[in-house]
Amino acid sequence: MSLDFKDCLVVGISSRALFDLEEENKIYDQEGLDTYSKYQIDHEKDILKPGAGFQLVKALLKLNAIDEGTRRTEIIVMSRNSADTSLRIFNSIEYYGLDVTRAALSGGAHLSPYLSAFKTDLFLSANEEDVQESINSNVAAAIICTNPEFIIDTSKEIEQIRIAFDGDAVLFSDASEKVFQEQGLDAFLAHEKLNAKSPLPEGPFAKLLKTISFLQNQFPKDSAPIRTALVTARNAPAHERVIRTLREWDVRIDEAFFLGGMGKEEVLKSFGAHMFFDDQQVHINKTSKLVPSARVPYKQL
């Protein structure tokens, strides 16, 4: 019988999102594939440092240890590396004791065609092209911000996973965001007040939130190993439509912050986010200095 991931949260992550491969990426960009491949093979016994997505992956894998025999999450390395240049990645996975055994190594080819084959719920990568193609294929995906200014402490155990989301163009569609961009704040507020009782259309991360909510509901509310937050620039009166939408979806958001244009970074630091998803690069530039952050690109038709 083949393995079924239908009750698992399946996260695909690139090697550059999982580990710090910025120097190696420079070699690839400046000297080409052959030099990069030789470098990786020559250094395959050198352990890589953790990347921006490392702590999230480590914490998600801990969900599998809660109940013996129950696998709640599956992490799959999805990389454009070839099998020949991947040994350093797997040596590093083994060194850190990560229960990651599956990989899609495309040898330079696009990764998006394989996301559905692995039933991927979330794809994290530093490669904008791969992420854009994934979003276009209706898979939740984000461009992870590498080279974080904060120090990743691998010795610190994460007792509760904390994931934060922006609202418009992430959890919800960008329809209301377009009203704001094209007609301004007053028109946006009037539109949201008029449609307060009409649920917002689903955005690229709506299905992911529902999957996380399903996992949360397997535990008592006060001891769930995952905690979520909505961190949005919306404020009253545009808050009502958001609340009614989440209620309509029957999903759980543990904390909600309606900031009305305030900066998001300090709230996210206080929340202790292990990953924050936003559609605006201007926000990611600020939040990534304090918490791991990833940008969700707009779908291209």
Q: What is the domain extent for residue 46?
A: 9-144
Neighbour-count burial for 267-283, b at 16+ CB within 10 Å, e otherwise: bbeebebbbbbbbbeeb
d(CA 253, CA 232): 13
What CATH code is carried by the domain that includes residue 102?
3.40.50.1000
Same domain, 209 and 179: yes
The verdict on pTM exceeding 0.95 is no
DSSP reduced 3-state for 260:
coil
Active-site residue flag, 166: yes
pLDDT band at residue 1 using 50, 70 and 90 as cut-offs: very low
Percentage of residues of the chain with pLDDT beyond 70: 95
Give me the catalytic one of 20, 166, 168, 174: 166
**260 belongs to a structural domain:** yes
In which element (H, E) is residue 227 found? strand 226-232
Domain count within the chain? 2
Q: List helix spans (H) across the chain.
A: 15-18, 22-31, 33-42, 54-62, 87-95, 128-136, 175-183, 185-194, 206-216, 239-249, 265-271, 281-287
DSSP reduced 3-state for 162:
strand
Q: Give the end of a domain, one of 82, 116, 144.
A: 144
**78 belongs to a structural domain:** yes
Q: Running DSSP on this structure, what letter comes out for residue 202?
A: B
Same domain, 233 and 178: yes
* Lowest-confidence region among 111-125, 139-153, 203-217: 139-153
pLDDT at 154 over 80: no
What pLDDT does residue 4 have? 66
Percentage of residues of the chain with pLDDT beyond 90: 60
Same domain, 215 and 291: yes
d(CA 75, CA 61): 8
d(CA 95, CA 76): 17
* Lowest-confidence region among 64-68, 137-141, 286-290: 64-68
Same domain, 286 and 165: yes
Q: What is the pLDDT of residues 246-264, one digit of tens each?
A: 999 999 899 999 998 899 9
- Phi, psi values for residue 231, rounded to 5°: -125, 100
Q: What is the pLDDT of residues 210-248, one digit of tens each?
A: 999 999 998 888 889 999 999 998 888 889 999 999 999
Q: Give the end of a domain, one of 144, 171, 201.
A: 144
What pLDDT does residue 32 have? 86
d(CA 136, CA 204): 9
3-state helix, strand, coil in the chain (%, to 5): 40, 15, 45
Question: Can you tell me the mean pLDDT for 5-23?
Answer: 89
Q: What is the pLDDT of residues 43-78, one digit of tens each?
A: 999 999 999 999 999 999 999 888 877 889 999 999
C-alpha dist (Å) from residue 12 to 5, 16, 64, 73, 226:
13, 12, 17, 11, 18
Q: Give the end of a domain, one of 112, 144, 176.
A: 144
